[in-house]
Chain A
């Protein structure tokens, strides 16, 4: 007799919400890795082209205007994650 065609998923935790959050953490980990790899690659490429930026990035001092923009961006970034974890659906941006 042939077994069922579709595999069952293997839940690590006995709660779908916990499972989803844990899966999301792994997905975010992957995204962080892909970005980290890209930044490393960017710095290597720039260095090879005679533009060593690594030290300059580390020593960068933001202007007040730049810092204010970062503050807004990180607040929005963190807000989207908190909203998702809270079950609040995302809204369309103003277009």
Chain B
């Protein structure tokens, strides 16, 4: 048996990365993502202006709407708008079908790219500690986040399908500006600019972990997440770039790491997936594991209190029907208060670049 030398192994990983990361789909799979992205684009260009006109004609404005969410929803339910109904219809079709179509697109090319996936699984730079014998928290177990049938761990390669296909070929196209550019920008929002040991909470499929590595290339990075499939794909992403990450299947609010063992704790769009009491527990845990003088930087969805009433209603409707059971209570939190309650100082809470999304909260543990 021939043993692979270091150069051979590097070539092997490069071959695997070229094949499995950003994979080339078959015609039907490509057409599926074109349709999923095109449908959302058509909704924005065709339906939204008509809906805006219909709402204005019905006297629905932020000034005219009541202050409570129930009253706003009741007022909107009385609007007779065909375009609004079609919008609901298209969103519902999108939620129901994006997961199965993505899985179908993957199945078309699975045989072709599975050897590359296997090679990335066996890369040696990332260490993955699976602890799925532990009981998952109640707030996570059984939740079909983002209307994924069966949840994040529905099938063994679900992390690959979501990380490589759904995020890159659908979400990235639907939200211009780039969710990957946003990750990089968020990683740069820390109070300091040099960290030796970084903990990422909710590292999912490793794309924000990559952004942290890009910004802090010399840091030792540790990631925690609950999803086995997500972590397994993060391992592939890390191995593909030769990153030396330590990944653990653990909840962010109870990482089990030694106190004062990190210089920075960071997360990207994790908090809205957690109930309010767990968000507080996550900040408490971040405070515990940071060394005195260490920094925290969490990014998340727009705070509900900065949205106008109509936009708030749209956001809550999307969350209610879109597999986001904790969004309402989590996005209603004042993250500055949460961070200060945990003990952080120099706390700032703001929208990145002056915009509403993503929302950043950062601070420092007192020295």
Q: Which residues of A contact B (CB under 8 A)?
A: 1-13, 19, 22-23, 26-27, 30, 33-34, 37-38, 41
Contacts and interface: CB of A to CB of B under 8 A. Distances in A.
Nearest to A33: B35
**Which DSSP category, helix, strand, loop or mixed, fits chain A's interface?**
loop
Interface string B314-355: 000100111111101100000000000000000000000000
The main secondary structure of chain B at its interface with chain A is helix
B31 A7 contact: no
Given A5-B142, A11-B88, A23-B92, A37 B321 contact: no
A10 B27 contact: no
B139 interface: yes
B86 interface: yes
A24 B185 CA distance: 41
B322 A7 contact: yes
Contact of B93 (A2, A6, A26): A26
B89 A22 contact: yes
28 contacts: A2-B139, A2-B325, A2-B326, A3-B329, A4-B325, A5-B143, A6-B144, A7-B95, A7-B144, A7-B147, A7-B320, A7-B321, A7-B323, A10-B91, A10-B317, A11-B92, A12-B86, A12-B89, A23-B89, A26-B93, A30-B101, A33-B34, A33-B38, A34-B32, A34-B35, A37-B27, A37-B34, A38-B28
Contacts, number: 79
Given A5-B142, A26-B89, 17 more contacts: A1-B275, A1-B329, A2-B138, A2-B139, A3-B329, A4-B325, A6-B325, A7-B324, A10-B91, A12-B87, A13-B89, A19-B89, A23-B89, A37-B30, A37-B34, A38-B27, A38-B28
B41 interface: no
A12 B92 contact: yes
